Structure 1
């Protein structure tokens, strides 16, 4: 939105919100299913665009992994966004709500979807951490925890045509695992409770992961 500064641009967004049609969206979803067209909602990317001045972004502790120049640029974008008149910012929020609705509609229709964050160059989108934010946004859209888990694992392997080596935990498949201390099928929140990682057969406990993150933050 910081690049959509003309009144005509904002009016186009209002028109898109006002004329959104569930029936037409369902027809599109049916076409996607029939054609095998995959979708990656990247809701966290949309959220950082449409709610750029949300204080939670500037207070995110994961900003320590980004360089100072990058954080300054992101804060400058947020200040520019905050200068939009209230009615324009409400339009942006309405657009985001429609994106959530569309994601749920696609999921209900069986559109194949993946979890992703489109982090390259995006304000407030921290690589790695943003995928966890995406999990939360998918839950906000109404997707079931199992569906979110599959979008980050099994479905990704299916899209890559790599289910013979990844996507599920089975003998003979790659030993690349994220270990959790709670059941992710019960709640999307449990996807954040990482107890360890196995990468190429090597185990990294929580202390190892904390040390790795500390080194990354020190170099930022």
Structure 2
């Protein structure tokens, strides 16, 4: 099927409360424009320079999400336009996002990445570290960032019970603290596991290969 058919069919099966981020990393602009022309406006990238290049060349009503690990020295390049940063994992990074957002007179929405996977390759904070960040007095004074929720990446496995366990643990943490910290977004689930993630309470999924086909470099 074509990209436009893939994205249309995927949206039809999603509950109304679930937001779809089309993961366009490594994909050429014509492919992304096919999804755009099918009505989609939210795209996710994992390399800031690639996202900047696409933002400069593509329609300005696109909502760009940074879904990959972020280095503090790169924040300045996306602060002008990024809509949501999914993978905030330190006070240091949040401080830099706040600083760069202020230069552009913006408030940038952010998600805290919680480590739920067993794999060492996955980034993220512990639940305890996340609570410490959220209760940090200096963080509460940041006026140009808005922590709107949490993000997690599950283990790359076909063990459904393990995925359910990882996603449900993050959902429980989200539910426990959503009122105190005004959480509204829970980003979990990708092409291979988004159905399980949605069943466990995800409100935002990050899907690439099911839309654009298998990834290539």
Fold-level similarity (TM above 0.5)? no
Greater share of residues in strand: 2
Return the TM-score normalized by structure 2.
Answer: 0.26
Return the TM-score normalized by structure 1.
Answer: 0.25
Q: Which structure's CA Rg is the greater one?
A: 1
